[in-house]
Structure 1
Amino acid sequence: MLRLLLMSDTHLPKRAKELPAPLFAELPRADVVIHAGDWVDAATLDLLESRSQRLIGVYGNNDGPELRARLPEVARADLDGLRLGVVHETGAAAGRERRCAARFPDLDVLVFGHSHIPWDTTAPTGLRLLNPGSPTDRRRQPHCTYMTALVDGGRLTDVRLHRLPPRNPADGALTADFRDDA
């Protein structure tokens, strides 16, 4: 069984100074860390490379030449028989399942980012589409988020969306009174 940690759109250091502590604490527990682009700085890539057992990442539209030189636009991996793909952008929400199923007919799961909006749907072909949201920039969402999941015998199981505590706008620190009751 493999434990996955999924994130996207970290936008460091523009949206936050560092990865949120709850997300950072998940790194040593994950067999595979997946980042669906918009890192913005190479330091975050360096950090995840040094702290992850295995890292699968792609560049996003906000990633410059240094990150584009180190990361692909699309990544593919076989995880214990699960055919996984990662890409940053998939286009508009309307028709996403159809478009992605046509573009990636050989995948079981596609992880994507860009919108900062958590997403978990399955195309009629069986392709599962996951967007973990953003752990640092919630945009129009109520919470910053990331995902975890398990791969067991070539099947994706136990997909969970994790809400992060809000940050104190004055200093970027997590607020102490947050309770995730979801």
Structure 2
Amino acid sequence: MITIVSDTHSTTGHELSGRTLDAVRNAELVVHAGDFTTAAALDAFEAESSRLVAVRGNNATEAVADRLPEVRTFEENGIRFALTHRKRGGSTALSLFGREREADVVVFGHTHRHLAERAGEVLLLNPGSHAQPRGNHPTHIELEPREKGFAGRIYRQDGKIMGEIPVGGLES
């Protein structure tokens, strides 16, 4: 399973709880779309994750910025992911970012609101924020591998499903 989170905004730790904490601990891969804020928060995520792929956000301290890139591209189960915290220009800019990196999926954060929508041929995923939802529910995304691609769900911390996401053309 892949667990996707973003926007921790912590000075001390990972701020994980409930289903989100369980999902991070049980994931084969944790993807973080930025804004750990401090090295302590990044270290706490690394301690809870078996494998962490992350980018820095716009609120990263110098210690975090020194350890994490602004963008990353990686592949899992035949799906190519492009990861960033934010791109000015909304879904058009995110779609272009994905196409430039030949990605099937763009994972991003910054808005603190979960989102799963197609922008042309690119799927845009924002897990929302598990720690500072800013008027929204605290959320994360879980992707379960299938024969090709993934079946995904957006979850609240309390375990309620907020949405289904087919990734790679498969129904969840």
Which bracket does the TM-score occupy, shorter chain normalised? Answer: 0.7 to 0.9
**Alpha-carbon distance in structure 2 between the residues aligned to 1:23 and 1:180:** 11
Q: Does residue 1:150 correspond to 2:144, yes or no?
A: yes
Q: 1:74 Cα deviation (Å)?
A: 0.2
- For structure 2, the 5+ residue unaligned runs are 163-172
What TM-score, normalized to structure 2? 0.83
**Which has the larger strand fraction?**
2
Q: Does residue 1:102 correspond to 2:99, yes or no?
A: no
* 8 Å Cα contact 2:14-2:41 kept in structure 1: no
- Cα distance change, pair 102–18 in 1 and its aligned pair in 2 (3 A): closer
**Alpha-carbon distance in structure 2 between the residues aligned to 1:110 and 1:181:** 21
Of residues 134, 139, 142 in structure 1, which corresponds to 2:134? 139
Of residues 8, 19, 25 in structure 2, which corresponds to 1:10? 8
Residue identity opposite 1:5 in structure 2: T
Q: Does residue 1:87 correspond to 2:84, yes or no?
A: yes
* 8 Å Cα contact 2:72-2:84 kept in structure 1: yes
Q: Does residue 1:43 correspond to 2:40, yes or no?
A: yes
Q: Does residue 1:164 correspond to 2:161, yes or no?
A: no
Q: 1:91 Cα deviation (Å)?
A: 2.7
Q: 1:43 Cα deviation (Å)?
A: 1.7
* 8 Å Cα contact 1:81-1:153 kept in structure 2: no
- For structure 1, the 5+ residue unaligned runs are 166-178
Residue identity opposite 2:84 in structure 1: V
* 8 Å Cα contact 2:20-2:139 kept in structure 1: no
Q: Which moved more, 1:68-77 or 1:132-141?
A: 132-141
State the Cα deviation string for residues 127-175 of structure 1 (Å, max 9, x = none).
Answer: 111000001111132x111111123345132x2111125xxxxxxxxxx
Aligned residue-pair number: 160
Q: Which residue of 1 aligns with 2:70?
A: 73
* 8 Å Cα contact 1:33-1:56 kept in structure 2: yes
What TM-score, normalized to structure 1? 0.79
Q: Secondary structure at the match of 1:162?
A: strand
- Map 1:101-120; keep pairs closer than 5 Å: 101-105=95-99, 106-120=102-116
Residue identity opposite 2:129 in structure 1: S
Higher Rg of the two aligned structures: 1
Q: Which residue of 2 aligns with 1:122?
A: 118
